């Protein structure tokens, strides 16, 4: 008997109405299952809908059609309050730009999600936040504000924040996008280890094939469709090299 | 429970982060609350002072004033007995004669004048008569063999070499049968430079100086709800008893002008509060736009739209509540230090504590303006799309 997947997308589409009246199809029928503790990577060009897919996975956005089952339960039937509660309980987000709350210390940032928790998690938020920051190696920087931290340290605070409520799924949107290669690798190692330690599933969106290669399974999002890829297969490498090249070119264009 | 505590903590945290901007907006709110609370309290306390002043002069509220319309050949003592009979029949607990006497103290120089009044024991209660020293008359004083007096400081200075009333100085009252009267208490002066003034019990006055006493008025302190009824019944019954009196109905509210003034000042305070609230609204709107991304991030933590709405609203309410507390504290400090003695020339007997109502009005205004100023930013915050907010 097959265990119920943690996350199960079945034919998910997402369309948006443009101001000129036309319809933009971002996702055209995405199928994806993620099991508990599994690490999945999704690569794709900019504008292919990776972030939209991540937002749908994290219950921040809703599919236009298709079914999203969270532990077998259709999320489409959940009311907004229940959705918010499951989002807080089951998902941890790591963003490319860290998205730390300005003016708050590292400890206050990590404790912030616990303000929306209940019971012991709420009342013990300072202790839990301290533990989470210690786990990512920032036990000595609890009272430091984000603007005083390096990029790598800020992302570690973001990871500690994503982990603090013990989520079932960590959703990382370009977690190394704002970091140099070396720091990026260190952050991914930390994220991988933390996810393995806590048994959380990890869904990573990235341009970086080396980062994607660390995952158990890889997918490429192109033309609104999710295609499984195998980075060790020569054909896939060649195909995805084009993606990487485009990504590098785009980055170069943006920075010049 | 955790939701409410969390929202308040979150609101407080936001205020802490944006304290300079919020503080500037809140100064106006705090000032307005100080004005509203202070004025409400001041009017209440000044009203009390004026009420007491009025009551000293004409008796407590719902005191009926009765003026004699002539009693034929009846002596003041007989009139008094008739009045006592009527008040007993109607179970009126407090009444007092208002009699004047023409008496002379031994040693008085020509031209010296003492304002003599003969009253009943109830006079003290009806007119809130306070004492500087010593005591007021008691029922047993009527049985004394010599008259007892309650006088003012000018009387003591003139006729008792400034002795304290507690030493019970005596003065001799001239007449066919001169009698030594003992001073048992000193009453406060009614106004500056008041001349000698002395009160004695009506019964004793009638005993010692029956020909020098003129009793032409009475005061009846009656329950407010029965005042109108007694104002109609008493003249009829007194006339039936052979002592016709014109009974004046109770005074209309003497503080009506002060109420108008109170509403006027409250109106100005309310306008100031509105301006303070608009300033806060302005700041809150700017702040909430600045925080769109943060709101999106909080939604990713599991914040419901209700929680976001409540959180933004609470920021404003918590802020104005703090401003309200500050405003009320300042108002208390100011009101408590108003020199009421100097303004009225004497202290208030029943000086009320800082009126709780005034503090409540101030706090309600502060919280209300906070809720109003927070409403628009809260609606704005809820309408923000989460995915747009995170990318903002």
Token couple for A201:
């599933």
CA dihedral B153, B155, B156, B159 (to 10 degrees): 160
Q: How are beta strands A169-173 and A91-94 bridged, if at all? A: parallel
CATH homologous superfamily, domain A38-63+83-255: P-loop containing nucleotide triphosphate hydrolases (3.40.50.300)
Please report the pLDDT score of residue B256 as a whole number.
Answer: 55
Q: Do B12 and B69 fall within a single domain?
A: no
Q: Which residues of A189-202 are buried (b: 16+ CB within 10 A; e: fewer)?
A: ebbeebbeebebbb
Residue ending a domain, among B222, B248, B274, is: B248
Q: Do B68 and B210 fall within a single domain?
A: yes
Please report the pLDDT score of residue A43 as a whole number.
Answer: 92
| Cβ-based interface (< 8 Å): residues of B facing A | 2, 5-6, 9-10, 13, 17, 293-294, 297-307, 386-387, 390
SS3 B254: coil
DSSP B249: P
A99: nearest CB among B13, B307, B390: B390
Residue among A5, A44, A8 nearest A26 (CA): A44
Chain B residues in contact with A98 by the CB 8 A cut-off are none
Minimal-distance CA residue of chain B relative to A163: B301
B6: nearest CB among A87, A89, A122: A122
Please report the pLDDT score of residue A236 as a whole number.
Answer: 46
Contact B293 A108 (CB under 8 A): no
Chain B residues in contact with A27 by the CB 8 A cut-off are none
Residue among A39, A37, A34, A38 nearest A56 (CA): A34
Contact B297 A61 (CB under 8 A): no
Residues of chain A with pLDDT under 50: 1, 233-238, 242-256
**CB neighbourhood size of A51 (10 A):** 21
Contact A117 B297 (CB under 8 A): no
A116: nearest CB among B294, B303, B387: B303
Inter-residue contact A203 to A219 (CB < 8 Å): no
Please report the pLDDT score of residue A235 as a whole number.
Answer: 43
Q: For B254-264, what is each residue's pLDDT tens digit?
A: 555 566 776 77
Q: Which residues of A1-25 are buried (b: 16+ CB within 10 A; e: fewer)?
A: eeeebbbbbeebebeeeeeeeeeee
Residues of chain B with pLDDT under 70: 21, 49, 52-61, 71-72, 250-259, 262, 340-353, 391-392
Domain residue limits at B362: 2-56+254-391
Q: Which residues of A88-123 are buried (b: 16+ CB within 10 A; e: fewer)?
A: bbbbbbbbbbbbbbebbbbbbbbbbbbbbbeeebbe
Residue ending a domain, among B248, B266, B295, is: B248
Residue among A193, A190, A221, A216 nearest A203 (CA): A216
Chain A residues in contact with B2 by the CB 8 A cut-off are 117-119, 122-123
| Cβ-based interface (< 8 Å): residues of A facing B | 51-52, 55, 58, 60-61, 80-81, 84-89, 91, 93, 95, 99, 101-104, 108, 112-113, 115-119, 122-123
Distance between A220 CA and the closest CA of chain B, angstroms: 22
Contact A80 B305 (CB under 8 A): yes
Minimal-distance CA residue of chain B relative to A79: B304
For an interface test with B, which of A84, A91, A102, A132 has the most B Cβ atoms less than 10 Å from its Cβ?
A84
Distance between A122 CA and the closest CA of chain B, angstroms: 7
Chain A residues in contact with B299 by the CB 8 A cut-off are 60, 84, 87
pTM above 0.90, yes or no: no
Token pair 């019990």: residue: B201
**Dist CA A162 CA B18 (whole Å):** 25
Contact A115 B9 (CB under 8 A): yes
Q: Per-domain residue ranges for chain A?
A: 38-63+83-255
Residue ending a domain, among B200, B226, B248, is: B248
Q: For B274-305, what is each residue's pLDDT tens digit?
A: 877 787 777 777 777 777 888 888 888 888 88
Q: Do B219 and B300 fall within a single domain?
A: no
Minimal-distance CA residue of chain A relative to B298: A113
Inter-residue contact B18 to B316 (CB < 8 Å): no
B304: nearest CB among A81, A108, A119: A81
Distance between A182 CA and the closest CA of chain B, angstroms: 26
Q: Do B91 and B185 fall within a single domain?
A: yes
For an interface test with A, which of B291, B302, B390 has the most A Cβ atoms less than 10 Å from its Cβ?
B302
Chain B residues in contact with A86 by the CB 8 A cut-off are 302
For chain B, report the end-to-end CA distance as a whole number of angstroms.
32
Q: Do B244 and B265 fall within a single domain?
A: no
Q: Is A125 left (phi over 0), alpha (psi -120 to 50) or beta?
A: alpha
- Structural domain total, chain B: 2
Minimal-distance CA residue of chain B relative to A92: B301
Q: Do B184 and B314 fall within a single domain?
A: no
Residue among B194, B197, B186, B218 nearest B97 (CA): B218
Distance between A75 CA and the closest CA of chain B, angstroms: 15
B302: nearest CB among A52, A84, A99: A84
Rg of chain A over all Cα atoms, to the nearest angstrom: 18
Contact A81 B10 (CB under 8 A): no
Distance between A108 CA and the closest CA of chain B, angstroms: 10
Q: Do B131 and B221 fall within a single domain?
A: yes
For an interface test with A, which of B300, B308, B382 has the most A Cβ atoms less than 10 Å from its Cβ?
B300
Contact B386 A60 (CB under 8 A): yes
- Neighbouring residues of A121: CB distance < 8 A, sequence distance ≥ 6: A114, A128, A165
Contact B302 A113 (CB under 8 A): yes
């Amino acid at each position: 008997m097959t265990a119920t997947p943690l996350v199960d997308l079945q034919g998910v589409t997402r369309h948006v109405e443009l101001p000129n009246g036309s319809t933009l199809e971002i996702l055209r029928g995405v199928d994806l299952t993620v099991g508990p503790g599994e690490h999945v990577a999704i690569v794709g060009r900019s504008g292919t809908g990776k972030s939209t897919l991540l937002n749908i996975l994290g219950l921040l956005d809703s599919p236009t059609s298709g079914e999203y089952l969270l532990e077998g339960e259709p999320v489409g039937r959940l009311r907004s309050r229940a959705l918010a509660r499951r989002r807080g309980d089951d998902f941890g987000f790591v963003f490319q730009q860290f998205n730390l709350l300005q003016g708050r210390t590292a400890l206050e940032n990590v404790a912030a999600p616990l303000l929306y928790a209940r019971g012991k998690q709420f009342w013990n938020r300072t202790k839990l936040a301290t533990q989470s920051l210690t786990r990512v190696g920032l036990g000595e920087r609890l009272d430091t504000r984000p603007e005083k931290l390096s990029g790598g340290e800020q992302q570690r605070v973001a990871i500690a924040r994503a982990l603090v409520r013990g989520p079932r799924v960590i959703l990382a949107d370009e977690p190394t996008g704002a970091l140099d290669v070396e720091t990026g690798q260190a952050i991914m190692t930390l994220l991988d280890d933390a996810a393995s330690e806590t048994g959380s599933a990890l869904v990573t969106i990235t341009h970086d094939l080396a980062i994607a290669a660390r995952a158990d399974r890889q997918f490429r999002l192109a033309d609104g469709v999710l295609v499984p890829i195998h980075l060790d297969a020569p054909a896939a490498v060649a195909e995805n090299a084009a993606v990487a090249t485009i990504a590098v070119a785009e980055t170069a264009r943006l920075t010049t | 429970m955790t939701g409410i505590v969390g929202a308040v903590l979150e609101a407080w945290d936001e205020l802490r982060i944006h304290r300079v901007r919020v503080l500037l907006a809140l100064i106006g709110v705090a000032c307005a609350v100080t004005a509203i609370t202070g004025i409400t309290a001041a009017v209440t306390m000044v009203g009390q002072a004026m009420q007491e002043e009025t009551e000293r002069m004409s008796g407590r509220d719902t005191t009926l004033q009765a003026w004699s319309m002539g009693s034929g050949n009846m002596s003041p003592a007989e009139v008094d007995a008739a009045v006592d009979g009527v008040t007993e029949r109607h179970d009126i607990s407090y009444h007092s004669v208002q009699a004047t006497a023409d008496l002379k103290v031994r040693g008085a120089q020509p031209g010296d004048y003492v304002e003599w009044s003969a009253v009943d024991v109830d006079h003290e209660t009806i007119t809130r008569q306070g004492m500087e020293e010593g005591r007021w008359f008691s029922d047993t004083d009527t049985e004394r063999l010599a008259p007892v007096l309650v006088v003012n400081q000018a009387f003591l200075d003139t006729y008792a070499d400034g002795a304290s009333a507690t030493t019970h100085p005596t003065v001799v009252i001239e007449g066919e049968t001169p009698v030594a009267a003992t001073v048992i208490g000193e009453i406060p002066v009614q106004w500056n430079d008041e001349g000698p003034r002395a009160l004695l019990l009506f019964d004793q006055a009638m005993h010692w100086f029956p020909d020098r006493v003129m009793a032409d008025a009475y005061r009846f302190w009656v329950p407010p709800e029965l005042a109108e009824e007694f104002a109609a019944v008493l003249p009829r019954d007194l006339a039936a008893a052979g002592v016709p009196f014109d009974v004046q109905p109770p005074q209309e509210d003497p503080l009506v002008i002060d109420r108008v003034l109170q509403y006027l000042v409250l109106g100005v305070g309310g306008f100031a509060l509105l301006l303070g609230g608009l300033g806060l609204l302005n700041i809150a709107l700017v702040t909430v736009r600045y925080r769109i991304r943060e709101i999106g991030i909080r939604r990713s933590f599991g914040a419901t739209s209700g929680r976001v709405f409540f959180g933004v609203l609470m920021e404003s309410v918590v802020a104005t509540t703090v401003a309200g507390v500050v405003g009320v504290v300042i108002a208390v400090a100011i009101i408590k230090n108003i020199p009421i003695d100097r303004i009225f020339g004497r202290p208030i007997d029943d000086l009320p504590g800082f009126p709780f109502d005034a503090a409540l009005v101030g706090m309600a205004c502060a919280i209300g303006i906070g809720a109003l100023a927070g409403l628009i930013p809260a609606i704005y915050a809820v309408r923000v799309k989460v995915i747009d907010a995170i990318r903002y």
